[in-house]
């Protein structure tokens, strides 16, 4: 009976800690309270707490940094699992899935976007162009990815936005020196991004979906970006 009781206690602690993460009490990027503090608050032993923390680390929600503490690195186990699958997927497979999601996100963003979301999207495009001018690849990638995730957010479909956010890593891998800032490539991509932005701003769902798929067509026509 004792092992069953102990497992039940650890499971209870896991649920409590996960609740702190999913509720936003412990946002992604923050360090969770020290072990001594948590054992007092929860009224549990250090071994039980450590086992619970290890379980959440294995889920991908927490990361133990030696000498620094334990940090929240994700808030949803399903999102972590999806990110892992995407990191192992072939580029062509990712593009195929994105073809379905991008068209839907663009169409819904054109229908439901707010003025503030339009301004944010235009800001990312402006900073994207500025990064090209100064040949700042890191900033270029940051704002390109933020633009596409912002479109999913502007769709006001929380499930779609959550799934699309999982593409962050694959999006970054698809935006590299071979596909973004060489020769006249970015001039063409910039025009396609502008067309997509205009359709969303003018609340043209069909035009937005067509522009989003046009961008993917262009991406598929380019050489694969090397993976690390």
DSSP 156-222: T-HHHHHHHHTTHHHHHHHSSTTTSSSTTHHHHHHHHHHHHHHHHHTT-HHHHHHHHHHHHHHHHTS
- The β-bridge partners of 64 are 70
How far apart, in whole angstroms, are the C-alpha atoms of residue 213 and residue 27?
Answer: 34
Which pair of tokens denotes residue 149? Answer: 């995730």
Give dist(CA 60, CA 34) in Å, integer: 19
Tokens 């994105």 correspond to 98
CA 11 to chain centre: 28
Q: In the predicted model, is pLDDT for residue 182 greater than 60?
A: no
User: What gap in Å lies between CA 103 and CA 160, rounded to an integer?
Assistant: 11
Q: If you ran DSSP here, which 8-state letter would residue 224 be given?
A: P
Q: Of 122, 110, 145, nearest to 194 (Cα)? A: 122
**Residue range 26-82, pLDDT digits in tens:** 988 899 999 999 999 999 999 999 999 999 998 889 999 988 899 998 887 777 777
With cut-offs at 50, 70 and 90, classify the pLDDT of residue 209. Answer: very high
The first and second tokens of residue 172, run together, are 């970054």
**pTM assigned to the model:** 0.65
* 1: pLDDT strictly greater than 50: no
Q: What is the SS3 assignment for 67?
A: coil
What is the Cα–Cα distance from 128 to 130, expressed in whole angstroms? 5
Place 181 in a pLDDT band, splitting at 50, 70 and 90.
Answer: low
**67-118 residue pLDDT tens:** 889 999 888 777 777 777 766 767 677 777 888 899 999 999 999 999 999 9
């Amino acid at each position: 009976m004792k092992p069953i009781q102990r497992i039940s206690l650890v499971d209870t602690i896991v649920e409590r800690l996960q609740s702190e993460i999913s509720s936003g009490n412990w946002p992604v990027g923050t360090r969770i309270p020290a072990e001594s503090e948590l054992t007092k608050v929860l009224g549990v032993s250090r071994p039980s707490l450590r086992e619970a923390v290890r379980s959440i680390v294995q889920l991908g929600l927490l990361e133990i940094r030696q000498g620094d503490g334990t940090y929240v690195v994700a808030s949803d186990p399903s999102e972590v699992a999806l990110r892992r699958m995407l990191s192992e997927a072939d580029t062509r497979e990712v593009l195929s899935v994105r073809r379905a999601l991008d068209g839907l996100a663009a169409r819904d963003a054109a229908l439901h976007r707010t003025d503030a979301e339009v301004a944010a999207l235009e800001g990312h495009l402006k900073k994207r162009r500025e990064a090209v001018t100064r040949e700042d690849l890191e900033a270029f990638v940051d704002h390109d990815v933020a633009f596409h995730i912002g479109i999913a957010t502007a769709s006001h479909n929380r499930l779609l936005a959550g799934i699309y956010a999982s593409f962050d890593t694959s999006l970054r891998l698809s935006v590299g020196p071979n596909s973004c800032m060489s020769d006249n490539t970015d001039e063409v991509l910039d025009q396609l991004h502008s067309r997509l932005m205009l359709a969303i701003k003018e609340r043209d769902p069909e035009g937005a979906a067509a522009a989003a798929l046009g961008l993917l067509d262009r991406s598929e026509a380019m050489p694969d970006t090397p993976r690390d």
